[in-house]
Amino acid sequence: MNAMEKVAWTNLGVSAFAVVVVLAVTPWLGAGATGFFALLALIPLSALFLRQRGPRVIVDERDRDIDRKARDIAVGASWMLLLVGLVAATVWGSQTESHAVSTVLLNWLIWAQFATCFGVRGLAAIVLYRRPYAA
């Protein structure tokens, strides 16, 4: 497994862990549970895998291509999640008496979008590393 694959696994693992923790503590903390999305801040630590050790190449053209493709997929997926989520929240809010969208829901939606973006980026990269790929 090369350095960028480790970064991809970190992206996926940390994102999934953050979502699981938030869902697990929501019954006790309620809206405050979204604070645990701050676990996503651990993702930049994956840069440690990219430290230059010796003269060997750490990231090459294949890694960069796969990362670019995975990033495109992740941004597209999270953007769609945000749009669909906002539409759903608006429709749901319009059905309530106050005709208002809950700020708690919006907060959840925005954090879920970030988690989706990092998680899908990791997952897409892992899948691309295992499939035939052309530069």
Partner 1 sequence: MPRKKEPSLENCVSELRAARSGMTQQQLADLVGVTRQTIVALEGGAYTPSLALALRIAKVFRKPTEQVFWLDEE
x/- string (CB under 8 A) for partner 1, residues 74-113? Answer: ----------------------------------------
x/- string (CB under 8 A) for partner 1, residues 7-46? Answer: ----------------------------------------
Q: How far apart are CA 127 and CA 121, in angstroms?
A: 10
Q: How far apart are CA 110 and CA 133, in angstroms?
A: 33
Q: Which of 6, 62, 69, 71 binds partner 1 (CB under 8 A)?
A: 62
Q: How far apart are CA 108 and CA 115, in angstroms?
A: 10
The two structure tokens encoding residue 51: 């430290």
The two structure tokens encoding residue 41: 């801040």
When the beta carbons of 61 and 97 are compared against partner 1, the nearer one is 61
